[in-house]
């Protein structure tokens, strides 16, 4: 029987059952083949759980303005008298990316590096507990919005805190003051020259004609020097024609101002992000909207998102299995 129009898809369930049986059989064969192996020759010692390994970001460019901040952060990390460092700047300006790059260089200065995202609604239970061991630790608190009681997340106080150095990122300089940062560093927007170089690389621009360069420069000005906006627009216009760039410029200029608390209209580059979203296909927009339903900083798995998409019957007419839904093309990358 059907329940409010929902009927089980017996064909799909049969196919899924056969697929599961096949994978179970293959797994059993692999376990049987591995029974005689010497696993000590195959496995490697796992890294220490408190040490975070940071991957590189292909979109990240080391510009002169960032290089200066990079060196300032490194100097503060080497200074034993500087226990708390605050990196502040507008959302999307590249604070987290810069901190990750700094950590690669600073790993030799500390025994352990621990990172946690705090956000607006921190879930203390999910944050890592800092071991009070006899070693030098760098603690990274990313995306801090208000004063955080360090003891609540396992960070020692008093004399025990002498072994810890805290590096936090926030959008507000006031938060740096609340957290008693002895060193405050402002990460500003990219310059016009840096912005132009970034969008040309992101959009794979090889045409050096004056007409295209003039339009690209105007598009960059609409991004207001915000790296996340520049990269987003650049990817949307990758290998596009002069006409496409002219259309994009006209649409960006006519885009409605987005009111965001703490952001001046002159510096508001979030219209570029809205413009990019508006040009996505319907299914990709749906994926973004479903992601917005999850809690902030939630680790959304492709498996979970795929099930919700199938539950909305967005893919039932086109695909017959979760494997097909998981493909990047299903959600428009």
d(CA 297, CA 62): 26
64-186 and 192-278 agree in CATH topology: no
Q: Residue 324: what pLDDT? A: 56
We find that the CATH architecture of domain 192-278 is Orthogonal Bundle (1.10)
Residue 157 scores a pLDDT above 70:
no
Structure confidence by residue, pLDDT tens digits, 242-300? 999 999 999 998 876 666 665 665 556 778 888 888 888 888 888 888 888 888 777 88
Alpha helices in the chain (DSSP H): 10-33, 64-78, 95-106, 173-178, 192-202, 210-222, 227-236, 242-253, 270-278, 282-291, 302-311, 322-326
What pLDDT band is residue 46 in, cutting at 50, 70 and 90?
very low
Q: Identify any residues that bridge with 142 across adjacent strands, giving them in sequence order.
A: 117
Residue 243 to residues 19, 170, 246, 250: CA-CA distances in angstroms?
A: 48, 39, 5, 11
Residue 325 scores a pLDDT above 60:
no
d(CA 294, CA 216): 36
Q: Identify any residues that bridge with 140 across adjacent strands, giving them in sequence order.
A: 115, 167
Q: Could you count the other beta carbons within 10 Å of the beta carbon of residue 203?
A: 21
Residue 316 scores a pLDDT above 60:
no
d(CA 160, CA 183): 20
Range 51-74 average pLDDT: 67
Q: Residue 54: what pLDDT? A: 37
Residue 235 scores a pLDDT above 60:
yes
Domain 64-186 classified CATH 3.40.50.300?
yes
What pLDDT band is residue 123 in, cutting at 50, 70 and 90?
low
Residue 181 scores a pLDDT above 60:
yes
Average pLDDT, the chain: 77
Yes or no: say if 138 and 77 are a contact pair by the CB < 8 Å rule.
yes
The more confidently predicted of residues 218 and 108 is 218
Q: Residue 182: what pLDDT? A: 94
Q: What percent of the chain has pLDDT over 90?
A: 34
d(CA 278, CA 260): 19
Q: What percent of the chain has pLDDT over 70?
A: 68
d(CA 163, CA 157): 10
d(CA 320, CA 326): 12
What pLDDT band is residue 34 in, cutting at 50, 70 and 90?
low
Residue 332 scores a pLDDT above 60:
no
Edge-to-edge strand list for the sheet holding 164-170: 112-119, 137-144, 164-170, 84-88, 183-186
Residue 1 scores a pLDDT above 50:
no
Listed by start position, the domains of the chain span 64-186, 192-278, 282-331
Tokens representing 220 are 């960059």
Q: Residue 128: what pLDDT? A: 52
């Amino acid at each position: 029987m059907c329940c409010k129009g929902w009927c089980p898809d017996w064909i799909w369930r049969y196919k899924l059952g056969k697929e599961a049986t096949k994978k179970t059989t293959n797994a059993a064969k692999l376990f049987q083949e591995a029974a005689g192996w010497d696993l000590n020759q195959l496995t490697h010692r796992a890294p220490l759980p408190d040490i975070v390994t940071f991957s590189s970001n292909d979109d990240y460019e080391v510009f002169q303005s960032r290089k200066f901040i990079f060196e300032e952060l490194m100097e503060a990390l080497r200074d034993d008298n500087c226990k708390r460092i605050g990196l502040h700047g507008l959302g999307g300006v590249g604070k987290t990316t810069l901190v990750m790059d700094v950590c690669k260089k600073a790993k030799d200065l500390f025994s352990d590096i621990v990172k946690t995202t705090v956000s607006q609604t921190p879930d203390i239970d999910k944050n890592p507990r800092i071991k009070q061991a006899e070693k030098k630790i760098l603690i990274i608190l990313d995306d801090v919005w208000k004063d955080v009681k360090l003891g609540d997340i396992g960070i020692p106080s008093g004399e025990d805190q002498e072994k810890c150095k805290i590096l936090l990122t926030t959008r507000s300089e006031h938060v740096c003051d609340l957290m008693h940062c002895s060193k405050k560093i402002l990460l500003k927007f990219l310059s016009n020259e840096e912005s132009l170089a970034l969008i040309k690389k992101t959009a794979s621009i090889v045409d050096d004609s004056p007409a295209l360069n003039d339009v690209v420069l105007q598009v960059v000005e609409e991004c207001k020097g915000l790296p996340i906006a520049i990269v987003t627009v650049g990817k949307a216009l990758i290998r596009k024609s002069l006409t496409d760039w002219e259309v994009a410029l006209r649409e960006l200029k006519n885009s409605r101002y987005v009111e965001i608390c703490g952001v001046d209209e002159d510096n508001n580059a979030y219209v570029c992000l809205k413009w990019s979203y508006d040009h996505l296909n319907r299914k990709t927009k749906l994926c973004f909207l479903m992601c917005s339903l999850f809690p902030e900083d939630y680790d959304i798995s492709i498996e979970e998102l795929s099930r919700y998409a199938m539950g909305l019957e967005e893919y039932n007419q086109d695909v017959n299995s979760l494997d097909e839904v998981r493909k990047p093309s299903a959600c428009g990358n």
